[in-house]
Amino acid sequence: SQQGEEDPQALSIQEGENATMNCSYKTSINNLQWYRQNSGRGLVHLILIRSNEREKHSGRLRVTLDTSKKSSSLLITASRAADTASYFCATGGGGQAGTALIFGKGTTLSVSS
């Protein structure tokens, strides 16, 4: 079963615009990770945010985590055509090292030039 749910399922924007994707999850977590996947290939790790962190930045990416609402958001600023991909949030199990990642169904982002 899926733990997280991304919203929206699909997003279409123009180059230069910002893209915001949201993720909600159900149970307590140790961390939340965001991954990108291009055209059904392997997943590329973008960022990991731990449960005691509220915000994290990496280049054009900004991730927030609100554990009280069990939600996270991924913001991509100044989008480029190369950002076109599917984006997944994944949660790590609560309190146990080395456990499975539980993924949502993903947001498909399309950036047109």
Partner 1 sequence: ETGVTQSPTHLIKTRGQQVTLRCSSQSGHNTVSWYQQALGQGPQFIFQYYREEENGRGNFPPRFSGLQFPNYSSELNVNALELDDSALYLCASSLNLGIREETQYFGPGTRLLVL
Enumerate binding residues for partner 1 (CB under 8 A).
Answer: 1-2, 4, 30-31, 33, 35, 40-45, 48, 50, 88, 90, 92-93, 97-106
What letter represents residue 99's amino acid?
A: T
Residue 11 or 104 having the CB closest to partner 1: 104
Nearest distance from C-beta of residue 27 to partner 1, angstroms: 14
Nearest distance from C-beta of residue 111 to partner 1, angstroms: 20
Nearest distance from C-beta of residue 68 to partner 1, angstroms: 21
Residue 79 or 103 having the CB closest to partner 1: 103
CA 33 vs CA 16, 17, 24, 37, 81: distances in Å: 24, 23, 12, 13, 23
Residue 56 or 78 having the CB closest to partner 1: 56
Distance CA 98, CA 51 (A): 16
- What is the C-alpha R_g of the chain? 13
Quick one: 61 exposed, middle or buried, by C-beta within 10 A (0-12, 13-18, 19+)? Answer: middle
Cβ proximity of 13 and 77 under 8 Å: no
Nearest distance from C-beta of residue 90 to partner 1, angstroms: 8
Residue 45 or 54 having the CB closest to partner 1: 45
